[in-house]
Each structure stands twice: as structure tokens, then as C-alpha cells.
Amino acid sequence: MYKDIDIREIINESRSQIPLVDLRSPGEFLEATIPNSYNVPLLNNVERSLVGKAHKLESSDRARELAMEIVAPRLPLFVYNIKKIAPKGEVNIFCWRGGDRSHFAGCVLDAMGMKVNRIKGGFKSYRHYIIEYLDRELPHRAIVIHGLTGVGKTDLLLELKRNGRPVLDLEGLALHRGSVFGKIGQPPSPSQKMFEALIQDNLRRAENVGVFLVECESKRLGNLFVPDTVLDSMRRGYRVLTYAPFDLRVQRIKRDYYTETEGNPQALREAVKRLAKYLGKSKVEELNQWLDRGEVELVIEFLLEYYYDPLYKYPCGPDNNYDLSVQIKDPVQAAEVIGKWLDQLPEYK
């Protein structure tokens, strides 16, 4: 028989090598899941809807009968897919709330000789765990990277992450770079539930280090909201100022936002239009004329000098009001400077 285990046992690092399978429909999985889960659905989106209607309009017994009629012909393929994911013969499974789907799958896989661990309460219990975690003060201290637009904060965080440092890349998790230009060249963002799950997963992994590195962000990234507990930690954290030469900032922004062959010019035009209430319609029209002529760098220079720099008001050089000031001409060298400083912090383990 399968074994019921608590969600905290699944999340424990000692179980990280055991494959985790989400049995819910592709639609449920797409909305949010436990990070690093595989999706092997018993029912697809339409089938789940049909079973749900049978449960609501007829009876729970009829719903189970319908589910069995749908699933039975696919059982050999279902077992094959699970065994392919879990070649060592042990798997962790979950459905929405630890009900019929995971019970059925657990019995089938047990009968086929597999060791099965079922999460008590299913994804619903995991969601409660995330809410509880993000509703309390974080156990580690934030190191917040500040700096003007284009100085290379994301490049720096990625380099620090490559060096094994604990990084919470909020923009990377949200698939949104912030500001009206944030979705240019980005795939669809996750749901709020998935965003929070990814944040918690990163924070949990950083607990034994005592700190986490994060770029200064506002409450909102596109349609997603950064949890208040993360923002509170950032307000109380160490402050690192980053800066870079103006021309280098322009080139970095052009690299990140402008790709002529992928249709980005039109996306840039639409984003510039959304700044009309700050810059005026006539200026926005002029900027888009520059874009039409391919004068992308002129547009970037104007937006930095007359909009973004006055908006954020960060120093463009070393400043004693910060715990550390670092120039990012080369992200590798900047990461080394921050790494050496990081090793001296009393919270860093």
C-alpha cells in the first residue's frame, strides 16, 4: 500500500532525489504546481470537467465510474510513464487535495511493485504551506542590489548565482523585467500562486546560508505581486549600490530590449506610448519616429536621462549611504568584490 506523508517531508532536501509527480490535469499543472514536479495526468482538461459535472449533477459514484471508464484503457501507458520518470522504483505523488486521483494512482503503482509516497492534502496542503511560510518574518537577511536602470544588476545576480551564492531573482521568476518595457522579449509570466511557490523554493534553499541577494523591486512586477514579507526583509536588509558608465548602460539596455529580427521595435513603440502621461504625447511621437529610423540608442539615452534616472534618483558613483558600492563594468569582477564582502558578514554561514 502507498504511504501518506506530510508536505514538509517532500520538501526536505533528503527526498530531493525522489521524483515528484503531479497527477492533476494539464490546466491545473499550468496554473501552479510544486516546483520541479513532473505532470503525468490521469485526466486531461476536458475529461476532468466531465467527471466534475458527473459528480455535481449525478453522484460521486457515477463520477468515479466515468473516471474509471476514461482512465482504464490508458493504465499501461500511465504506469510506463511513471516508471520512466522513477527508474529506481520510488515516487512521490499528489493531486489537488489528496483524494480519489492520488488514491487510485497510489493503488495501481503499488500493485505494479513501486514504492509510492502520497502527499497528504495534495497540492492544497502545499499551497497552505506556502502561505504560512510567506506570512512570517523570513529567517535570513536580504542583501539588496540597488542601482540605476541598465547598470547590469541582473547580469551581476546571474554571475553571483553561477558562483553558488544565494540569489532570489524576482524578475527572472516573474519573467518580467519591471517597468512598461518589462515583457518585451519575455514568455508568459507564471500565475501568482506559481510565482509565490518559486519565491518560497528559492528562499527555503537559502535558509542555511543566512542571507539572500535580491534586486530592489517595487511591489508589482507586471501582473504579479511580490509578497509583503519579502519586501519587509528587503527594507531591513543590507544595501549595495551598483553603478556603470552611461554609454555601457545604453548598450546593455539595447542588448536586452531591442532585437530587430524578432519584432521588438513594434513592442518598443507600444511601450513608449504608455509613457505619454509622463513625457507628453508629442515627445512620445518623436521618440517613436526615432525608433522608426532605427535610432534606438537615442531613444534609450533620452529615457535614461529624462525619465528613469530622475525617477529612481540613485547615485551614479560610490556613495557612503550604502553598505557597499560596486561598479559593474565587468559582472565577473563585480561578483568577486561582492563575494569577498559577503564572506565577512556575520549572518553569512
Catalytic residues: 95
**Is pLDDT at 14 greater than 90 in this prediction?**
no
CATH of the domain at 61: 3.40.250.10
Each residue's pLDDT tens digit, 204-259? 999 999 999 999 999 999 999 999 999 999 999 999 999 999 999 999 999 888 86
Same domain, 143 and 126: no
Residues 243 and 103 in one domain: no
Residue 48 shares a structural domain with residue 195 = no
Q: What is the pLDDT of residue 160?
A: 98
Closest C-alpha among 151, 146, 201 to residue 33: 201
Separation between Cα atoms, residue 198 and residue 220, nearest integer Å: 16
Q: Do residue 109 and residue 253 come from a single domain?
A: no
Task: Give the pLDDT confidence score for residue 60 in this predicted structure.
Answer: 87
Distance, CA of 201 to CA of 185 (rounded, Å) = 25
* pLDDT value, residue 13: 57
Q: Which one of 65, 98, 131 terminates a domain?
A: 131
Domain presence at residue 82:
yes
Q: Write out pLDDT tens, residues 27-68.
A: 999 999 999 999 999 999 999 999 989 988 999 889 888 989
Distances (CA, A) of 95 to 4, 90, 105, 154, 221: 13, 17, 10, 36, 29
Closest CA to 252 of 103, 98, 149, 142: 149
pLDDT at residue 265 greater than cutoff 60 = yes
Same domain as 98, residue 30? yes
Q: Are residues 102 and 41 in the same domain?
A: yes
Residue 320 above 80 pLDDT?
Answer: yes
Mean pLDDT (whole number) for 16-31: 94
Domain assignment of residue 8, given as a range: 3-131
Domain check: are 304 and 249 in the same one? yes
> What per-residue string of b and e applies to 207-235 under the rule 16 or more CB within 10 Å gives b?
eebebbbbbbbeeebbebebbebbeebbe
Looking at the structure of the chain, the number of domains it has is: 2
Residue 33: count other Cβ atoms within 10 Å of its Cβ. Answer: 20
- Name the grid cell of 267: 513592442
Tens digit of each residue's pLDDT (9 = 90 or more) over 135-178:
999 999 999 999 999 999 999 999 999 999 999 999 999 998 87
Residue 280 has a CB neighbour count (10 Å cut-off) of 11
Tens of pLDDT, residue by residue over 67-126, are: 899 999 999 999 999 999 999 999 999 999 988 999 999 999 999 999 999 999 999 999
Position 23 confidence tier, pLDDT thresholds 50, 70, 90? very high
Select the more confidently predicted residue: 184 or 298: 298
pLDDT at 260: 56
Whether residue 217 sits in one domain with residue 75: no
Is residue 310 located within the same domain as residue 258?
yes
Percentage of the chain lying above the pLDDT 70 cut: 96
Q: Find out whether 71 and 42 touch, Cβ atoms under 8 Å.
A: yes
Are residues 207 and 260 both part of a single domain?
yes
Q: List the grid coordinates of 218.
A: 517595487
pLDDT category of residue 186 using cuts at 50, 70 and 90:
confident
Decide if pLDDT at 271 tops 60: yes
Report pLDDT for 176: 87
pLDDT > 80? residue 336: yes
Q: Is residue 64 part of a domain?
A: yes
Tell me the backbone φ, ψ of residue 172, rounded to 5 degrees: -65, -40
Position 261 pLDDT exceeds 60: no
